[in-house]
Structure 1
C-alpha cells in the first residue's frame, strides 16, 4: 500500500505521490490531457522509469509521470502549495472512497496536507 514515510525522500525532502493515489483522488479525466512526452528532463518516475512531465500551475511546477500518473513535488513546491492554500484534504479524502482497501486509508492517517496537495495536482491537470 505505502505510507507517507515511504513517499518522502529524506535526502532532498521531496514527496512522491504514487499514480494509484493520484488517480484515486482526482480520477482519470484530468489525467487524459497530460502530455505524453517531456522536454529534456532528468527526473524519472520511481515506479516505472518514465520521464516526468513538468506541469506549471499558479507558479508551482509539479512533475507528473505520463504513464502511471504519479506526481513529484520537491520540498519548495510542496511547501509553497501548503502555504498558499487552506487545508481541505480531509473533505476530499472522505468523499473520494468508501472502499476499505483504497489508497485513501493511507491519506486519512497523514491528514489534510496530502489532500491539499492532491487537490492542487487535480486543479493543475484539469487546466491542461
Structure 2
C-alpha cells in the first residue's frame, strides 16, 4: 500500500495532513508520521518517506479499545498512557470511526519514536 491510497479516506483534512506530513518526513529522513483525529485517537503511519510505501498502520487510544491487533502500551514519563493497536483491516476502522477530521499532523520523534522503532524492529510488514 502507498501513502496515496490513504488520500481516499473520508476524514476531513486527511489529504492535506498526508501531503504536509510526508514532505516533513522526507526532509527530516523520518519514517513515522502521527495524525491526531478529532475523536482523540492517534493514527500512526510507518512508511518509507521516499517511495511512500506503507509498512504498517497503527492506531493509539488513551483507553483500551478493540481497534485491531494489540501492539503495545506506551506511557509518557509522568503522564498519559496510550494503548496501541496494529490496523489489520483499514476499511473496518474507517467504517467504525465514521465521519471525523484531522486535528493535527506531526513527525514522530524522540522517546515515542524510539519506542515504536524498537517495537517494530523485526516485525513483518503488513501492507
TM above 0.5, yes or no, is no
Q: TM-score, normalised by structure 2?
A: 0.31
| Larger helix share, 1 or 2 | 1
| Larger strand share, 1 or 2 | 2
